[in-house]
Structure 1
Amino acid sequence: MHYIEGLSQAEIAKRTGLSHPMVNRLVKEGHERGYVRIEVKSPRQDLFELEQALAEASGLTEAMVVPTASDQDSVNLQAAGRSVADHILTVLRDGDTICVSGGVGVSAVIQAMEPTRAYDVTVVPATGGVQGKHFVDVNHLAAQLASKLQGRAFQIHAPIFAASRAERDVLMSLQSVGEVLDRARAARIALVGIGSVLSESSTYFSLHAPGAGGLDGLRQSRAAGELIAHLIDADGHLCDYPLNERVVALSPEELRTIPMTIGIAAGAHKAEPIAGILRGGYLDILATDEATGTHVLDILKRPT
């Protein structure tokens, strides 16, 4: 009567002369005895299964996969950015510190964020800055995010790459730089982009790092991707590459210790970088689109 005829429990009680509590008990007993089984068929079931498979294959706490709605990576990145923005607003608490990297992925999250109240939070850079890339520079993005949340932002007055390892050590020892990076280390949430390094669309060289062997040097380093300006190989390890010793930023190991590290990327050229970074265990949450996530899962299933 309840499941096949669609009658309410009150209607069943009236028709049978049983009490409403008795009908409720019988319906419940039908579940307990296995007479009734409920299946949920969602139009997004494939996405849920992909999210679960990515998490199981990589050790992620959560994967957030949006439909691939366009052949333009920027459109899919915007959709992934909205999912991250919504998630951050769900988990964000007053008193939190958020550290961010630069890049178009982080920018997509910030642009999509629509808070409904002010948050007493602090936003800090996780890396040094980049001259001439204002709209994706870490200082600009930290300020934008803090403005949207009505919190406060700190700026880092140092380049993302030093000219030498010795200069990097000097910059990292400066009180103004050290205080910002200490705040980043103490963050509860990190929001970072995932960079490609060998594709034509790679932004790694746009960081204007002073020479380190160019594209040939990158190939020899066996770099798969970039995370907070550090090159990571396909197995998730730091590459033996000169610029990795000259980065003014948190290290990937320090990033890993932040309680909730969210990475965002979309596009076929980001699949290999994502897979390498997932193998390194640097992220807790990954946001991407379905086509990219499927490619990443295929890579993760390959023997290394």
Structure 2
Amino acid sequence: MAPPKGKPTVMANSSRSDRQDDAILEATWCYYIEGLNQNDIAKRLNISRASVVNYLQEARRREYVRITIDPDIFRHQKLARDMVAKFGLKDALVVPSELTDRGTLERVARGTADWLPTLLEPGDRLGVAWGETVYRVAEAAPHTIMDDLTVVQLVGSRPAALGFAAETCSATLARRFGAHCINLHVPLLLTNKNLADQLRAEPVVAEQLQAVENCNKTIFAAGTCREDSHVVQAGIISAASMRDQVTKGASAVICGRIVDQDGAALPISIEDRMIGVSLDQMRNKDLSLMVGTGPDRIMPMLAAINGGYATHIATCTDTAAAMLETTI
């Protein structure tokens, strides 16, 4: 009996895929372990140099290989030490700035992602904020098992552009670290205070909020108070209300809460309708890692430092130099 039509093609495709996977692994081993150059690998595998390049790129994409630089290099450079000395930080990591803001953010996120595991210990409860910066760190984090680590979502859920929602940030980082994840299964902003109070009183939510309070370490970004800030785009506060807050001295947004240049809270009318970590709960941690880069983050980051919200900072050379030169 003849085999069903199409079956030989499926088997052939599977065979080709297996052979290609083997070639990717062989090229990866030759390049990164044996130190062969791309021409030598092409000759050994009897393929073109372009194929070797593609195989090595595919190996990186699949995370067969992860190139890292010891984060201590970026902690011990002069700008990092100057940041620690001037601002009373426990530590700082400063990576080289890139030509574009996007490129620099990716560098800072990757540097932070490689640094973060060295800052964690068994039994830690890591509170994770939200937004693009934190999301980029989570996405860049290595796949590594962190023993007895709990990752906790610090603010309630809210639709966010490009997937930078709070639950995405915490879940992604927990998955990368093989950690237990506690998400905060409530909206960040409710329509009225009574509903917010009722939700806080629900046993499951109360337990999650207790986990938020019990975090001994956090990672967050200090947001801007511009009309295009994350909290405005997410609909937490209107552009008009943000402009009004700026006239009152608003300088930074920390986990959805607005602070002035001294880091003091500037309560807004929606405070009693928000569910998430409080500003008081963001202070006095074993580690509070603030990540940020760019000219628009200089004043927000300084405000967070003044308010005692940051013990560690990860940024770029341009931002660090500007912060050191800024008088407030």
TM-score, structure 2 normalization: 0.71
Residues of 1 paired with 2:182 and 2:283: CA distance? Answer: 21
Determine which of 284, 294, 300 is the counterpart of 2:321.
294
Is the CA contact 2:289–2:314 (under 8 Å) kept in the aligned structure 1?
A: yes
Match of 2:270 among 228, 239, 243: 243
SS at match of 2:219: strand
Point out which structure has higher relative CO (alpha carbons under 8 A, 6+ apart).
1
Q: Deviations over 1:170-190 (max 9, x none)?
A: 333222222112112222321
Change (3 A) 1:211 1:84: closer
Secondary structure of 1:95 counterpart: coil
* Cross-structure match for 1:144: 172
* Aligned-partner SS, 1:242: coil
Select which of 84, 87, 107 maps to 2:112.
84
Helix, strand or coil at the partner of 1:171: helix
- SS of the equivalent of 2:81 reads helix
* Code of the aligned partner of 2:232: F
Q: 1:56 aligns with which of 85, 88, 103?
A: 85
Shift of 1:236: 1.0
**Residue 204 of structure 1 pairs with residue 231 of structure 2:** yes
Distance (Å, rounded) in 1 between the aligned partners of 2:266 and 2:161: 25
- In 2: Cα distance, 1:248 partner to 1:294 partner: 36
Does the aligned pair in 1 maintain the 2:289–2:312 contact within 8 Å? Answer: yes
CA change 1:257–1:164 in 2 (3 A) is farther
Q: Contact 2:222–2:300 at 8 Å: present in 1 too? A: yes
1:232 to 244, 255, 259: 259
User: For residues 221 and 292 of structure 1, do their structure 2 counterparts lie closer, same or farther at Cα, with a shift above 3 Å needed?
Assistant: same
Following superposition, the deviation at residue 213 of structure 1 comes to 4.8
Sequence identity percentage: 22
Aligned residue type for 2:89: L
User: Counterpart of 1:287 in 2: which secondary structure?
Assistant: strand
Gap runs ≥5 in structure 2: 1-72
Following superposition, the deviation at residue 282 of structure 1 comes to 0.6
- Rate the CA distance shift 1:289–1:103 in 2: closer, same or farther, 3 A: same
Q: Identify if the C-alpha distance between structure 1 residues 142 and 289 changes in structure 2 by more than 3 Å, giving closer, same or farther.
A: same
Relative to 1, partners in 2 of residues 1:67 and 1:208: Cα closer, same or farther, differing over 3 Å? same
Measured in 2, the distance between the counterparts of 1:141 and 1:250 equals 15
Distance 1:232 1:135 in 2: 25
Q: Which residue of 1 aligns with 2:311?
A: 284
2:215 maps to a residue whose letter is A
Residues 243/293 of structure 1: CA separation in 2 closer, same or farther (3 Å cut):
farther
3-state DSSP of counterpart to 1:191: strand
Relative to structure 1, is the Cα distance of residues 160 and 90 closer, same or farther in structure 2, using a 3 angstrom cutoff? same
Contact 1:263 1:286 in 2 (8 A): yes
Distance between the aligned counterparts of 1:269 and 1:166, measured in 2?
Answer: 36
1:173 paired with 2:183, answer no
CA distance in 1, matches of 2:264, 2:232: 20
Q: What is the aligned partner in structure 2 of residue 220 from structure 1?
A: 247
Aligned with residue 71 of structure 1, among 90, 100, 109: 100
Q: Distance in 2 between matches of 1:153 and 1:195?
A: 24
> In the alignment, is the contact (CA less than 8 A) between 1:47 and 1:66 conserved in 2?
no
Shift of 1:83: 2.1
Distance 1:294 1:165, change over 3 A: farther
CA contact (8 A) 1:64 1:286 kept: yes
SS in 2 for 1:56: helix
Aligned pair partner of 1:158 in 186, 194, 203: 186
Number of residue equivalences: 256
Instruction: Give the TM-score, by structure 1 length.
Output: 0.76
Instruction: Give the RMSD, CA atoms, in angstroms.
Output: 2.4
2:9 matched residue in structure 1? none
Q: 1:287 to 1:75 in 2, by over 3 A?
A: same
Q: What is the CA distance between 1:212 and its match in structure 2?
A: 8.6
Query: CA offset at residue 78 of structure 1?
Result: 1.7
